[in-house]
Structure 1
Amino acid sequence: MNRMPSESLPHVRTFMGWPPAGSVWGPYTAAVRRDVAAVARLIAEYEPVVLLAGPGDAEAARKACGGAVGIAAVPVDDLWLRDSGPVFVTGPDGGPAGVDFRFNGWGGKQDHPRDGLVARRLLEEYGVPRIEAPFVAEGGSLETDGEGTLLVTESSLVNDNRNPGRSRAEIEGGLKELLGVTEVIWLEGVRGEDITDCHVDALARFAAPGTVVLSGPPAGAAPDVWSRVHERARAVLEHATDARGRSLEIVDLPEADLAELGERGEDFLGSYVNYYVAGGAVILPRFGDRRADERAAAVLRDLHPGREVRAVEIPTLAEGGGGIHCATQQQPAT
């Protein structure tokens, strides 16, 4: 049976995508490239990083990232490798395999013809066997403890924009078979409020087996659709048990306070839960709310003992509705 390892286990490399010229970022392309380069260079201090870039964009990627970051000639439409790239698993023989979840632009919200082929092309480039999933999902919608438990949001998977006519039970069965999990914890999420239909990797993550870090609004924030999402997620997690029968410890990680950040767009993502575990480090965003930034670093330091906690500013990435985890995809060491 396949098995999806925990992100906290060693990686062969981290994959990222280099936003191409003429992308959806338009006049913000140069700015978001600076964010991608900053994240890539930081992760490269801890493990190998490979940027996917089309022929016309590879030189700009090399210049921005330097020799510490590798380039693979795989064209992309956008930078979100967590969603367009393959989800790596360990196969029954102990070797690597990659699940291609047939990325379709988050339910057809954007046109991504090259990104729809990224998983296949990346796996071919690195000689990793490909497993085609029988339904559509994104890597950001899947969070595992590595011990048989999977966290997902119903809003992003049981959705006609990805899997018309598919039931929750049918999708759960497919996830268990593809990823080798035995317990799927379904959070409600919310449809249509962001491009991902509420991916779990900005809401709740396993810091360790039995421990979930949960995003939430800053203190004093007015109730809104997202505070209800967080409240409902907490209610589910408080009563859930994992694949080994354990109740879950929930650690709250409040988001950055928009009042401390100045004007931000409607797509801005201020979630610290969208961090990335790489080598001996935890890479998390720094938003500019000093109190929240410092609290997030302290919480994650406690949750990931033995790892350095490194914060990096990602102003344009965050304005685009994503974060560091969204922009990365790990290939686990087998």
Structure 2
Amino acid sequence: MRISRRGVLTAAGLGLLGIGTAGCAPATNSGGRSSATTDGHAAMDRRLGAEWEPHELTVMSWPTEAIWGEDLQDVRDDLASVAAAIAAYEPVVLLASPGDEEDAAYAVGDDVEILTVPVDDLWARDTVPVFVEGPAGIEGVDLNFNGWGGKQFHEHDAGVGAAVLAEFGIPRVVASLVAEGGSLETDGQGTLLVTESSIVNDNRNPGLWRDEIEQRLMDLLGMRKVIWFDGVYDQDITDAHIDSLVRFVAPGVVLLDVPGPGAPDDVWSRSSEQARSVLASATDAAGRPIEVVELPQPDFAKIRGDGDDFLASYVNFFIANGAVFVPEFGDRRADRRAQDVLQEQFPDRDILPLAIDTVASGGGGIHCATHDLPARPGE
């Protein structure tokens, strides 16, 4: 039986992954062309760009049988369709474990480059480093992936950060905390959105208070303001990443995931309401109030997928060069509304819906499965 990414699993010890507690990440050479440093630059020396800025390429990962079992072919079909769709707009590099390269290449076609890197699962958003503009160009911030707080043992995914940076020849910055790319959302102008549950959590950063984590994030990513949401603890494997709740679409404008028709009054609907209340009085790093545009979920009675972990959030979209890729779930009215909302926010980009039923059944979406490398300054 497939292990769901977002199902609540028995915690594996952090030591199994070779990751220390926050603040103890070693500053060692990665063994490739990229060298590792700790996060010591002042905030003004780094900038985490917005996803709508130009990309050099998109990185994805080819899932393995060890994780997906009998659902492997279906999830690979989903991933292949996503990779091929993005490749029509920008280069795509697909990480595949030794022995899986031929199958991956056959599935995605000639427009997608295959890079041999040992991986476990498809969630590149969380395992690939966060790319920032640093004093000498692009740097990769390795957030010390530890299986979402030790909930799963990912022997290979824990090393993806160092491996990717070595292959790309990008300097590696080893973060002094544990997090995942899906837990961070920015406007590219110094504002960061984060859920407390996904990072102010003893399963990732024991002994660190929110203020200390905030300062480290600001230094790592060049932020001037962090807006915190409660999130949801211990109900999904990510502890409620921000990228399925609130996303920037422009400076001062966010899309908010809200419950669809007939949704229960549960921890997820209350999380959405809490986020709305925070945004109502929040300002960004430039002092602007934040405009909130609702992006309702589909009616679960009308969607194709099923399962307790099914992620039916349109907010988990991915912005590529010239296009926005959004999941479609089979509720025609809700699917069309989500596409219309995104087209209004991105009038100069193509809005392309993609069916990802098996990926969604594992608790993730298009954004979770992709990671953008920003265009190098001057290119």
Report TM bin, short chain.
over 0.9
Q: In structure 2, which of residues 299, 302, 319 is the aligned counterpart of residue 257 of structure 1?
A: 299
- Measured in 1, the distance between the counterparts of 2:185 and 2:69 equals 31
Q: 1:262 Cα deviation (Å)? A: 5.5
Q: 1: CA distance between counterparts of 2:345 and 2:371?
A: 21
Residues 304, 357 of structure 2: 8 Å contact kept: no
Q: Give the Å deviation of 1:221.
A: 2.1
In structure 1, what residue type is equivalent to 2:131? F
Listed as ranges, the matches of 1:284-295 within 5 Å are 284-295=326-337
Deviations along 1:171-227, whole A, 9 cap, x unmatched? 100000010010000010010111100000000000100001000101342211110
Q: Which residue of 2 aligns with 1:154?
A: 196
Paired letter, 2:77? R
Q: How do residues 9-24 of structure 1 correspond to structure 2 at under 5 angstroms?
A: 9-20=53-64, 22-24=65-67
Residue in structure 2 matched with residue 213 of structure 1 by the alignment: 255
1:8 is matched with 52
Alignment of 1:47 with 2:90, yes or no, is yes
Match for residue 164 of structure 2 among 122, 126, 130: 122
Distance 2:368 2:374 in 1: 17
**2:362 maps to 1:324:** no
Q: Does 1:36 align with 2:79?
A: yes
Is residue 2:99 matched to residue 1:59?
no
**TM-score between both structures, scaled by the size of structure 1:** 0.98
Say which SS state the counterpart of residue 26 (structure 1) adopts: helix
Residue 246 of structure 2, aligned match among 168, 192, 204: 204
- Is 2:309 aligned against 1:229? no
Matched residue SS, 1:317: helix
The code of the aligned residue for 2:127 comes to: S
Rounded to whole Å, the distance in 2 between the matches of 1:263 and 1:173 is 40
Residue-pair matches, total:
332
Separation in 1 of the partners of 2:305 and 2:119?
30
Partner Cα separation in structure 1 for residue 215 and residue 266 of structure 2: 33
Q: Secondary structure of 1:192's partner?
A: coil
For structure 1, which segment, 254-263 or 72-81, has the greater mean C-alpha deviation from structure 2 after superposition? 254-263
Residue 228 of structure 2 corresponds to 186
The SS at the match of 2:301 is helix
Distance (whole Å) between structure 1 residues aligned to residue 243 and residue 368 of structure 2: 8
Match of 2:40 in 1: none
What RMSD, in angstroms, separates the aligned Cα atoms of the two structures?
Answer: 0.8
C-alpha deviation, 1:24, in angstroms: 1.2
Q: Any idea what SS the aligned residue of 2:73 has?
A: helix
Match of 2:66, SS state, is: coil
Aligned equivalents of 2:331, 2:261: Cα separation in 1: 13
| Amino acid of the structure 1 residue aligned with 2:276 | R
1:283, CA displacement in angstroms? Answer: 0.4
Q: Which of 117, 134, 148 pairs up with 1:106?
A: 148
Indicate yes or no: 2:210 matched with 1:168.
yes
Structure 2 residue runs of 5 or longer lacking an equivalent are 1-44
Bigger shift: residues 63-72 or 213-222: 213-222
CA deviations on 1:35-64 (whole Å, 9 max, x unpaired) are 000000000000000000011100000000
- 1:72-87 correspondence runs (5 A): 72-87=115-130
Q: 1:133 maps to which residue? A: 175
Alignment partner of 1:72: what SS? strand
Any runs of at least 4 consecutive aligned residues in structure 1 with deviations exceeding 6 A, and if so which?
none
Whole-angstrom distance in 1 between the partners of 2:354 and 2:304: 18
Counterpart secondary structure, 2:176: coil
Partner of 2:17: none
Residue by residue over 1:118-141, the C-alpha shift from the partner in whole angstroms, topping out at 9 and shown as x without a partner, is 010000001000000001000000
- Distance in 2 (alpha carbons) for counterparts of 1:190 and 1:297: 27
| Amino acid of the structure 2 residue aligned with 1:128 | I
Aligned to 1:144: 186
SS in structure 2 at match of 1:25: helix
* Helix, strand or coil at the partner of 2:70: helix
Q: Which sections of structure 1, spanning at least 5 residues, go unmatched? A: none
In the aligned structure 2, how far is the partner of 1:44 from the partner of 1:205? 23
Deviations 1:245-295 (A, max 9, x none): 000000000011111125610000000000000010000101100000000
